Every structure is written in C-alpha cells, then in structure tokens.
Structure 1
C-alpha cells in the first residue's frame, strides 16, 4: 500500500511501467466533469473507473482483495476512510470470483487512513482494503479507480 498526494505520485513511477502510465493518466486528466463509467487507457492492461457514491458506515463496508489488478484510488472530491491490512493467513468469506476479480474478508485487524480530494492510495493484490467508509458522516464523493494489470505491474 502506498498513499500520498497526486502532485507527488510520479515519485512512485519506478514501481512499474504500467503503474507509471496510469499515474501519468491521473496527472493529465481532469476528472471533475467526467461522468461515471469505465474509460480505456490501455485495453485490459490499464483502465479507469470513475465513480460517484455516498460513503457508508463502517459496518456496511467489506474488506476485499483482487488477484489480477492493482488499484490506484484517487479522490476527486469528498473524503473517504479506507481500512487496510496485509494479506497474510486470512481466510476469504467466499470463493474467488474471476469475473469480478474479488475476494471478501472479515473486517479484522485493519488500520485506517482518511483521504480527501487530491489524494491517492495504491493497493496491490497483497493488500486487503476496505473502501467507501464515511469519515464522520456519509457524504457524496467522486473517485477514480485505476485498474492496472498486476502481471507486469
């Protein structure tokens, strides 16, 4: 897991060519007027999902991991709390969904970070993460989730 402000994201470009390409896309794109949906960057290798949603109480959220994709989650507007823990010996609550690239877990032993507009967080397949948690009370947020195929990072 890596987190910071968008103005500093290129410090992490050395983490991989696909990650660097996704980071450049984040820096060069104005997401404020973009409508929610999926945006192609490099086919299945890199794409962006623009989301608008209302954050939820902790007990309405679920920790998750992905096997195929690394996430860069970038806050366009609003505030969101994220739970995080390293994936070690935790047992998933369900079988892996290849179609959704998703495993869900119990919300145990998580650490929490609050992100506001202009901030990003990177989650690898070895990171359990619990997004969409409200900071103080539910609020409307706009967020971009960059999906980067993990096989060549």
Structure 2
C-alpha cells in the first residue's frame, strides 16, 4: 500500500519512483476536476494503458458494517475528491482469512472477507486530496466514518491493471 496527498510538496518525487501506469493515474487525479465529474464507471486510457475510472458518491459508515476487500487483477488507486473526512482500514493478505463473497472471476475483480475482530488492522485518515494505492495483497476497507458521524464523500477509484505495472 502507498498513501499520500496530491498537494504534498513531495508529490513529484513520490510519484517518480512508481511504475509508469501508477504515475499516470496519480497525475490524472491531480490534473482532473473529479469533484465535479459526473458519477459512474468509465473506461479511460492512462498513456496507452486501459484503466477503469469509478466516480462514486458515498456516505461513510461505521467500520463494523463494512467488509474487507481485495482485487487480484487490478491495483486500486483510491482518492478522496470531496467531502469527508473518511478513514480507510488496511492489512496484509496472508491467505488465511475467511471469504465472505468471491467475485474475482467477474468483471468486478473483487473478493470480500468476513470481518474478523482479531485481525490487526491499520487506519489512515483520508482528507480531500488524499490517495491510497492498494495492491492485490493489500486488504482494504474504504469509506469508514471518522468519529461518530457519517459524512458524504466523493470517492474516486482508478483501477490500473496489475500486469501493466510488471
């Protein structure tokens, strides 16, 4: 997992060390007004690499109501374009977690795990401009409410094919 903010003074240095498709995804997030983009799912090209753009209007929820997820074919670049705050949970996939729903062989490329209260889970604060890059081994739980109050968010997800980064 990689975490940062497009407004960070080190953005260019942080971006430069990444594979080209992830560099393109982060620059797309920085240069595109996604807070005012129509919601939906869109096919895009990142310097010749086909990717998927999801523009989602969501409301954050208590952690216990959300399922941990992973993807195997795509790297998720998640970005908070507006609203919030939001928190995101994460932990490393060690292959021992109980599957709740497996949709990896569908166009959604997603697997949900059962919530396990004994799993050590990290948390990051997502404020406007914050991005998190989740690789296929990164279990993640997006859209967690910060504190006791739910908040509307404009969540952007750019799905970059894993094989384009190898």
TM-score w.r.t. the length of structure 2 is 0.84
CA pair 86-37 structure 1, distance change in 2 beyond 3 A: same
Map of 2:89 onto structure 1: 83
Q: Which moved more, 1:54-63 or 1:104-113?
A: 104-113
Distance (whole Å) between structure 2 residues aligned to residue 145 and residue 6 of structure 1: 15
How large is the Cα RMSD of the aligned pairs?
1.8
Distance (whole Å) between structure 2 residues aligned to residue 44 and residue 26 of structure 1: 15
Listed one character per residue, the Cα deviations across residues 39-76 of structure 1 (whole Å, up to 9, x for unaligned) are: 33228831211111111111110000000110111111
Q: CA deviation at 1:116?
A: 0.8
CA pair 150-127 structure 1, distance change in 2 beyond 3 A: same
Q: Does 1:105 align with 2:108?
A: no
SS of equivalent residue, structure 2 residue 100: coil
Map of 2:18 onto structure 1: 15
Q: CA deviation at 1:126?
A: 0.8
Q: CA deviation at 1:112?
A: 1.2
Map of 1:6 onto structure 2: 6
CA pair 55-87 structure 1, distance change in 2 beyond 3 A: same
2:43–2:50: 8 Å Cα contact kept in structure 1? no
Distance (whole Å) between structure 1 residues aligned to residue 158 and residue 103 of structure 2: 21
How many residues align structurally?
153
1:18–1:46: 8 Å Cα contact kept in structure 2? no
2:67–2:141: 8 Å Cα contact kept in structure 1? yes
2:53–2:159: 8 Å Cα contact kept in structure 1? yes
SS of equivalent residue, structure 2 residue 58: strand
Q: Which moved more, 1:7-16 or 1:22-31?
A: 7-16
Map of 1:119 onto structure 2: 130
